[in-house]
Amino acid sequence: MPTWANLNLQEANSPLMEQLIFFHDHTLMILSIITMTVSYMMMSTLNNKLINRFMLEEESIELMWTIIPATILIFIALPSLHLLYLMDEINKPCLTLKAIGHQWYWSYEYSDFKNVEFDSYMKPSNSLELGDFRLLEVDNRIILPTNTQVRILITSTDVIHSWTIPSIGIKIDATPGRLNQGSFSINRPGIMFGQCSEICGANHSFMPIVMESVFNKQFVQWLKSY
C-alpha cells in the first residue's frame, strides 16, 4: 500500500500490474523526451533573432511535424493495445470469486465451493486491533491462493460501485443488473487494500476492500473452516 509522500504507483503484486507499471514508465520516458525537446526549441527560438526563410510556408517542415508525432503515437499505442488485450484475456481460471456491492459494504461468494459466502464491513475505530489500519480494515477479508488464475465477477444490488485494488491492477465497475468480469493472479503472499472508486452515496469512503493472499495449503485449511 502507498505511504506518505509516495508519488509512485503501488508495488505490483500481479503480472498485470507489473505490465501496467512498465507501460507507465515507457510512456513517461517518451513524454519527458518530448517536453525537453519542445522546451529547448522554444528557448532557442526566443533567443534567436535570425529567421530561416526556408521555414516560412515550407511543406517539408509541415511534413516533419506531421510524421514525427504520428510515429511517437504509434510507439505509445502498440504497447497500450497489447496491454489492453492482456487485461481482457481470461484463460482457464482455476477459481471464481463474485463480489457484490451494497450501500455500503461488499459481499463475496466463492462460486466453486458450496456455502462459502460472507459480507465484508469496515471495522469501526473502537474495534481496531494493534496493527490494523483505520478506515481500511474489514471484519472479513477475501482469502485467495497465490499463483492461481482467479476470475472475478462483479455486480451491485443498488447503485454503481467500483471494485478496486491498485496493487494487482484491478478496477471494475459494479453495475446493477449486470455482471462485469476480470482476471488476475497474485505473485506472492500478502495483504492488499482497495476501496470503492465510484461515488456511491454518503458512506462511499467507508466500504474498503481487503484481500489476503496465502499459499494453497493455507487456502484449503481456510475453506475447511466453513
Using CA atoms, how far apart are residues 178 and 201, in angstroms rounded to an integer? 20
Q: Identify whether the C-beta of residue 155 lies closer than 8 Å to the C-beta of residue 223.
A: no
Quickly count: other Cβ atoms within 10 Å of residue 20's Cβ: 19
Instruction: Say how far apart CA 138 and CA 209 lie, in whole Å.
Output: 7
C-alpha cell at 156: 451491485
Task: Report cis status (omega within 30 of 0) of the bond before 65.
Answer: no
* Model pLDDT, residue 64: 84
Where is pLDDT greater, at 188 or 56? 188
Locus of grid cell 496493487: 167
Q: Hey, which CATH number is domain 95-225, 3.20.20.70, 3.30.70.20, 2.60.40.420, 3.40.50.620?
A: 2.60.40.420
pLDDT tens profile 177-193 = 899 988 888 988 989 99
β-pairing, 95-102 vs 150-156, is parallel
Q: Give CA–CA dist 187/113, Å, rounded.
A: 23
Spell out the residues 6+ positions from residue 75 whose beta carbon is closer than 8 angstroms to its own: 30
| pLDDT number for residue 133 | 86
Secondary structure (3-state) at 172 = strand
Give the other-Cβ count within 10 Å of 209's Cβ.
23
**Measured CA angle at 64 (ends 61, 70), to 5 deg:** 145
Q: Is pLDDT of 206 > 70? A: yes
Instruction: Provide the angle, in degrees to the nearest 10, between the axes of the packed helices 59-88 and 15-47.
Output: 170
Half-sphere exposure of 134 (CA within 13 A, CB side): 2
* Boundaries of every domain in the chain: 15-47+57-88, 95-225
Q: Against a cut of 0.95, is the pTM above it?
A: no
Which tens digit of pLDDT belongs to each residue from 108-156? Answer: 999 888 888 899 999 988 888 888 888 888 988 999 999 888 999 999 9
Residue 139, amino acid: D
Over residues 43-60, the mean pLDDT reads 75
Among 5-14, 66-75, 136-145, name the one with the lowest average pLDDT: 5-14
Question: What are 177's three cell numbers?
Answer: 443488473
Cell 466463492 belongs to 110
Given a contact cutoff of 8 angstroms between Cβ atoms, the answer to whether 151 and 96 are in contact is yes
Q: Provide the percentage of residues in the chain whose pLDDT is more than 90.
A: 35
- Tell me, what's the pLDDT at 1? 61
- Per-residue model confidence (pLDDT) at position 109: 92
Q: What angle do CA 160, 180, 92 make, to 5 degrees?
A: 155
Q: What is the pLDDT, as a whole number, of residue 46?
A: 83
